[in-house]
Amino acid sequence: MTQRAVPRRAPVRVVLADDHPIWRDGVAADLGPGFEVVGEAAAADEAIEVIRATRPDLVVCDLKMPGGGGLEVVRACGTATRIVILTVSEQERDLLDAVAAGAVGYLTKSAPGDELRAALLRAAAGEPVFAPSLAMLVLGEFRRLAKQATGSNPLTEREREVLQHVARGYSYREIGEQLHIAPKTVENHVRNILDKLHLSRRQELVRYAVEHGID
């Protein structure tokens, strides 16, 4: 009996943006064969040009760079590709500003290589990702923000639970384990939430949760 060859998944095409070339080299080495670095940049304006020229699947971008930093990159390109901020900063304001600008994730440079790779694969698939130590900052902001939603909440109780876990940065599998439902069911809930809220991308769910104080 002949066995069918399993098709290999194409590598995630990545742009690395940081003003330290040694750091870019280190991340490129850590990413491994599941990723292909298609461009690099040392400043925000350069990163924007590279992103527009290469159309990557994912951008890994430092927060503090010449030319406006990572937030400028997110504002300019966040609707065209998925951008993860990778930084040394664990300041709450930096995290929330990145989320508000449209970043799909916020990770720290202290993350081990295997955790970084796993998080970036999830980000490339459209899932919000946050360093575990920072997820609680998002939740803390939920509790401090005044409720801004008007009228009746369009989400069911289960959808609110799923949205809370998405905001915490959990994967579909992890959410399914915590809520005792299948990962595919979680994905269906996320799709329904996006439709109800008239949103087009998963990272916008985190922004919605912050703005509406869903905790």
Closest CA to 174 of 105, 128, 133: 128
The CATH superfamily assigned to 12-134 is Response regulator (3.40.50.2300)
- Cβ atoms of 100 and 210 closer than 8 Å: yes
**Amino acid type, 153:** N
* Strands of the sheet with 105-108, listed across from one edge: 35-41, 12-17, 58-61, 82-87, 105-108, 129-130
- Cβ atoms of 120 and 193 closer than 8 Å: no
Structure tokens at 178: 């915590």
Question: Given this model, what pLDDT does residue 30 score?
Answer: 87
* Rounded average pLDDT over 150-161: 67
Question: Given this model, what pLDDT does residue 209 score?
Answer: 63
Q: Where are the domains of the chain?
A: 12-134, 145-211
Better-predicted residue by pLDDT, 110 or 132: 110
Question: Given this model, what pLDDT does residue 105 score?
Answer: 87
For domain 145-211, the question of CATH label 1.10.10.10 is answered with yes
The answer to whether the 12-134 and 145-211 domains have the same CATH topology is no
Q: What is the pLDDT of residues 167-189, one digit of tens each?
A: 777 778 888 888 888 888 888 88
Least confident of 127-136, 138-147, 185-194, 202-211: 138-147
Better-predicted residue by pLDDT, 58 or 135: 58
Residue 146, pLDDT > 50, answer no
pLDDT grade, residue 129 (50/70/90)? confident
Better-predicted residue by pLDDT, 61 or 128: 61
Residue 195, pLDDT > 80, answer no
Least confident of 42-51, 107-116, 199-208: 199-208
Mean pLDDT of all residues in the chain?
Answer: 80
Residue 6, pLDDT > 60, answer no
Q: What is the pLDDT of residues 7-20, one digit of tens each?
A: 567 889 999 999 99
- Cβ atoms of 67 and 166 closer than 8 Å: no
Question: Given this model, what pLDDT does residue 73 score?
Answer: 95
pLDDT grade, residue 145 (50/70/90)? very low
